[in-house]
Amino acid sequence: MKKAVNDLKEHIKAVDVLVHNGGCMIHEQQFTKEGIEKNFATNTFGVYFLTTLMMPMMNPTSRTIVVSSGGCLTEKLVIDDLYMNEEKFNGTVQYSRNKRQQVCMV
């Protein structure tokens, strides 16, 4: 992401709207090479990290839009077991929790 944002900075001066519309639902617990559970990495951390990297290119009137899912309505906000290690991993539940986390970040 850092490389992509740095490359983007060479071509544009400002961002008026940033839309997050990516997502994944992996049904087996898998981790990135950095040790982040892959659903969380894509659905929650990726949104936070990319937005943070883009902020220097945004101004007070810029907007960030996060496309979530109705799945967020099926799960409570969970912040103490982000990778779902303390219970049997369920990709659908993890996805729904991640979508709830997205809504709470905005």
Facing residues of 19 across strands? 65
- The Cα-based distances of 41 to 80, 96, 103, 106 in angstroms read 16, 14, 16, 17
Which of 20, 95, 96, 100 is the catalytic position? 95
Residue 95 a catalytic site member: yes
Residues catalogued as catalytic:
95
